[in-house]
Amino acid sequence: MPMVYTYCPTCGTKLIAKAAGDDGTTPYCPVCQRFWFPTFADCVIVLVANEFNEIVLAKMPYLSQQYASLISGYMQPGETAEASAKREAQEELGLVLPAVQYTGTYWFGKTDALMHGFIGQTTKQAFKVSDELSTVQWVPAPEAPKYMFPESPDNAALAVYRTFMQQSKI
């Protein structure tokens, strides 16, 4: 659930409900004269592909022992979504992505996070795997769905994957 403020994070005053235009009633600090809209986490989800139309699938033990997914992680304060996508590929896989292509945003209700999807191209190479991951492998793109989480409204990985397949015309 997104964080809804009760007290002002700046001065500690109990917030009051005040109309905020089209956004409706919103917590407001009468001391700081500022609205405090609900906040939620921003994450990135990155499909990493190589020149052989293989993509990276990884298992994150805290998510599942059965299913693999794309690389993902939380954005850091002050970081752009593009920089976060490149950083996550570097941290989790040891791969440098020269550029990333934005595929859209996806709501992940399980953690109330806004996921920013990306596709990044690199050359096929060995991984330097993060401790966050239990397994990582290059998988032929057409075969990837059989290893991934099943279809659901929250499955951003499949949405990014479909964009990749459509653009790649595989």
pLDDT of 65 higher than 80: no
Residue-level pLDDT at 76:
96
Each residue of 74-100: pLDDT tens digit?
A: 999 999 999 999 999 999 999 999 999
CA angle 93, 98, 100 (to 5 degrees): 85
Pick the CATH number of 41-168 from 3.40.50.1580, 3.40.50.2000, 3.90.79.10, 3.40.630.30: 3.90.79.10
Q: 42, 75 in Cβ contact below 8 A?
A: yes
Angle at 44 between CA 36 and CA 154, to 5 degrees: 85
Query: Measured between alpha carbons, how far is 109 from 52 in angstroms, rounded to an integer?
Result: 34
What confidence tier does 109 reach under pLDDT thresholds 50, 70, 90?
Answer: confident
**What is residue 62's predicted lDDT score, i.e. its pLDDT?**
80
Ordered by start, the domain boundaries in the chain are 1-38, 41-168
Q: What is the mean pLDDT of the chain?
A: 94
In the predicted model, what is the mean pLDDT of residues 109-138?
94
